[in-house]
Structure 1
């Protein structure tokens, strides 16, 4: 759900304040009986309210739109769209790997972009991964973590949830440097691509919500703990100079 958050934050801090006020009007959800509070989540009651808001938005808006997208667009076309945006995101991942002090990983990331752009029809086909250039995702929140900035409390943000105080600032930095979100001069094309990115991101985790419903006694706690653990793992791997997504724990954040 991070792409929803990016779309939400790109206008200004004023819109962010308005959204926070609106969510505050929902009220604070109570913590279910038997659930132990987490020291990393001091705002849990409020976070649960925002989590419920995001879940409702996903249930009644995003998932139905994605269902229609899956019905209309054939699988090979969806794969091509996902590869295109993945190739675009590799540019920013390479930049962040460089900022994290991993020039070798950054160079491989840029090589992925070159290979997929030139030989993969502009990024529609992923030629780099089978060619021995694995994807290494990175963003500014992760970069701040590598620089030693503490995460701060866990927070669930409106429109694309699991985050931390540090990662919230990282998301703002991601938005400010995102060409497709802020700098593309054709407004109609920019908005169309943004909408397609959102639907594509949700499509990647189309069945994740159903799996979580069946696997977790408390979905909120499961997502929170998985997010925190996975984020810390990414940062530690990058500090060590090795950040291979294939070595990450078997948890996929449906809001990423």
Structure 2
């Protein structure tokens, strides 16, 4: 039954390769008509029944519309051009990062993102080339969902949005502000604005075609768990917590080892 599942790209989420490649897929893919038993409810997913229905709805859209178009785009688009398209839209997203970094009191990242925006817009020919990364000025994306978490909304229920895919109640609340902070929103020509939005979506979906096979088991749970873990990673700016083995006061029970130093 799971063999009939095909993931569907959720346009409202960001591409963050901070954890494992599978997490990147899970973050941006949604939709699977899985009939697996739901089992025990997840603490952060009390609306699992509703979410699974939306998940399946998103899958239909991807299976018959977005995925075929993305495959065609991948076939006809040279890789350097595809990279430049991704760079262009990522550069537009730097403005949102600057705003949210300031709202979070992270002046350092706001300054870094401003530098990236200026360098890639000028030396990178309108953002087509990621010159800033080559200069070791790395991207650390921030959005309004992360800002709300920094402001105190730490725990939030998982929510699958129609068309937008995996989210939380907190991230969905920040979604309108994310859209308002994206420059494409203010393109006055309707045809140009819709064309840019469609190109961005298709390009992001095409980037995931080679990674779909990484999703295993109950697709819904895989996507949910990876999304929640990755959002925690992003909110904490990549800090996974203290490593007890790296602490100076880490105690080792000598009784657990033999006289020769080997474990019993």
Q: Deviations over 1:218-239 (max 9, x none)?
A: 1111110111111112112289
Residues 1-256 of structure 1 mapped to structure 2, 5 A cutoff: 1-3=9-11, 32-33=36-37, 35-181=39-185, 183-212=186-215, 216-237=216-237
2:34 touches 2:56 (CA, 8 Å); kept in 1? no
1:146 touches 1:239 (CA, 8 Å); kept in 2? no
Task: Note the C-alpha offset of 1:66.
Answer: 0.5
Task: Note the C-alpha offset of 1:217.
Answer: 1.3
Q: Distance in 1 between matches of 2:226 and 2:161?
A: 16
Unaligned runs of 5+ in 1: 6-28, 241-256
Unaligned runs of 5+ in 2: 1-8, 14-32, 241-264
Q: Deviations over 1:197-251 (max 9, x none)?
A: 1111212222232321xxx2111111101111111121122899xxxxxxxxxxx
Structure of larger gyration radius? 2
Task: Note the C-alpha offset of 1:33.
Answer: 3.0
Aligned-partner SS, 1:128: helix
Aligned-partner SS, 1:155: strand
Q: Number of residue pairs matched?
A: 214
State the TM-score, normalized to the length of structure 2.
Answer: 0.75
Q: Distance in 1 between matches of 2:66 and 2:11?
A: 12
2:11 touches 2:165 (CA, 8 Å); kept in 1? no
State the TM-score, normalized to the length of structure 1.
Answer: 0.77
Relative to its length, the structure with more helix (as a share) is 1
